[in-house]
């Protein structure tokens, strides 16, 4: 039998699905408690039919005022955002929003573990990059700097995460290494 290499293309999984599955694995194993936040919705009108559940009849998607993922690992606060790009040589900063950056800066000041998970879809590579690297590119951008983080920089300063079966994206391993010296 032929064991295929695990790639996003042949698995048909999004980065978000992989992270959710990894978080579920961590939770069941008692390793960490990390969840994706619900998508925020602005509710405009709700029907309350008799004898059945309330139905939302008009609502709009709102932008998350924080990052999508947070939780606890070994007592420490963990907070991150996950993004994918079709680009090959750099990660465009337009994938991030001002309020997400502000949130991550606030978390960083509070000594939370804060990072981004970046996926280059074409080559099917995932990197763990500490938030402070994102901050410096973000802040430079407004002073006329470049609008993306070079892949070369991400390879040098970030940590590659190879895709496995369970957990699919083992980002706790990187946290162990950087923050707990394990």
Residues found near a copy of itself in the complex (CB under 8 A): 27, 30, 32-33, 35, 37-41, 43, 53-62, 64-66, 70-79, 103, 106-107, 109-112
**CB 35 to a copy of itself: min, Å:** 6
Side-chain half-sphere of 175: how many Cα atoms within 13 Å? Answer: 22
**CB 153 to a copy of itself: min, Å:** 27
- For Mg ion, which is the closer residue by CB, 99 or 147? 99
Residue 68 contact among a copy of itself, Mg ion, none, beta carbon within 5 to 8 Å by kind: Mg ion
CA distances from 165 to 27, 73, 84, 169 (A): 16, 21, 20, 8
Host H or E run for residue 43: strand 41-47
Residue 175 contact among Mg ion, a copy of itself, none, beta carbon within 5 to 8 Å by kind: none
CA distances from 78 to 100, 161, 167 (A): 15, 17, 17
Given a contact cutoff of 8 angstroms between Cβ atoms, the answer to whether 133 and 158 are in contact is yes
- For a copy of itself, which is the closer residue by CB, 56 or 122? 56
Torsion over CA: 123, 126, 127, 131 (sign)? positive
Binding track over 4-23 against Mg ion, x by CB under 5 A: --------------------
Cα dihedral 169/101/154/144 (nearest 10) = 160
- For a copy of itself, which is the closer residue by CB, 41 or 177? 41
Closest-by-Cβ residue to Mg ion is: 68
Interaction residues for Mg ion, span 14-73 (CB under 5 A): 68
Given a contact cutoff of 8 angstroms between Cβ atoms, the answer to whether 101 and 142 are in contact is no
- Where on the chain is the footprint of Mg ion (CB under 5 A)? 68
């Amino acid at each position: 039998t032929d064991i295929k290499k695990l790639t996003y293309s042949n698995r048909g999984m999004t980065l978000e699905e992989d992270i959710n599955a990894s978080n579920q694995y961590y939770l069941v194993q008692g390793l960490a408690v990390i969840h994706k936040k619900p998508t925020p919705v602005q509710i405009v009108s709700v029907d309350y039919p008799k004898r059945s559940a309330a139905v939302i009849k008009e609502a709009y998607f709102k932008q998350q005022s924080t990052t999508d993922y947070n939780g606890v690992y070994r007592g420490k606060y963990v907070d991150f955002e996950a993004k994918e790009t079709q680009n090959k040589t750099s990660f465009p900063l337009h994938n991030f929003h001002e309020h997400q950056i502000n949130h991550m800066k606030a978390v960083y000041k509070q000594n939370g573990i804060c990072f981004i998970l970046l996926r280059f879809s074409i080559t099917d590579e995932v990197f763990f990059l500490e938030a402070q690297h994102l901050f410096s590119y973000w802040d430079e951008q407004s002073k006329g700097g470049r609008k993306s983080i070079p892949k070369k920089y991400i390879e040098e300063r970030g940590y590659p995460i190879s895709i496995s079966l369970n957990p699919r994206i083992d980002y706790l391993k990187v946290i162990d290494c950087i923050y707990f010296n394990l």
